[in-house]
Amino acid sequence: MAQKWRSTREEKKSATMSGQESSENSRSRPRPATPIDTARLDRLALDYVARYATNSLKLQHYLSRKIMQARQSGTLDEAAAQALGDHAAQIIARFAERGYVNDRAWAEMKASALRASGYGERRVRETLRHNGIESAVVDEIGLAPDEEGNMDPRFEIALRFAR
């Protein structure tokens, strides 16, 4: 009985090995580069915003990276890359206008998550600044104590928990 099980297992293993070899060969070949144009850039931006909570700087970096990849693959010349870069700026402005990208909401979410993780005000401010959030927005979201010296209630709870 045990011998039959081994032979069946070995047969299945050899059958899948031959199937894997053909798929491995197809994976080693690079996929052809997809040409990028304004419509594709719009779609990439919309898909990115739909999938990730993001701010305008992160979206700008993503679109710039996609344009650079197309440029490096040879599917895009310098003039077209410059035109797409200008179009990316228009996309970001349009998304911010429609509320798809909201730097303030993203900063509040990120600051809340960092505070909940136990990070201090300085680290939170530095992280937000590094992510392209303006200092005026950082001041507005209430990282610093208010006029009476009270911190955000969630921060005070975390501080009490840490003590």
Q: What is the mean pLDDT of residues 142-150?
A: 56
| Rounded percentage of the chain residues whose pLDDT exceeds 70 | 71
- The span from the first CA to the last CA of the chain, in angstroms, equals 64
Q: What is the mean pLDDT of residues 59-83?
A: 92
Q: Which residues contact 59 (CB under 8 A, 6 or more apart)?
A: 45, 48, 49, 91, 92, 95, 101
> Confidence class of residue 34 from pLDDT cuts 50, 70 and 90?
confident
Q: What is the mean pLDDT of residues 93-102?
A: 95
Q: What is the pLDDT of residue 151?
A: 59
Q: What is the pLDDT of residue 23?
A: 54
Q: Please state, rounded to an integer, the average pLDDT across all residues of the chain.
A: 82
Q: What is the mean pLDDT of residues 35-49?
A: 93
What pTM, to 2 d.p., does this model score? 0.68
**Angle formed at CA 42 by CA 40 and CA 47, multiple of 5 degrees:** 95
Q: Is 131 exposed, middle or buried (0-12, 13-18, 19+ CB in 10 A)?
A: middle
Q: Is 142 exposed, middle or buried (0-12, 13-18, 19+ CB in 10 A)?
A: middle
Q: What is the pLDDT of residue 150?
A: 57
Res. 2: pLDDT tops 60: no
pLDDT digits (tens, 9 = 90+) for 11-32: 666 655 555 555 555 567 777 7
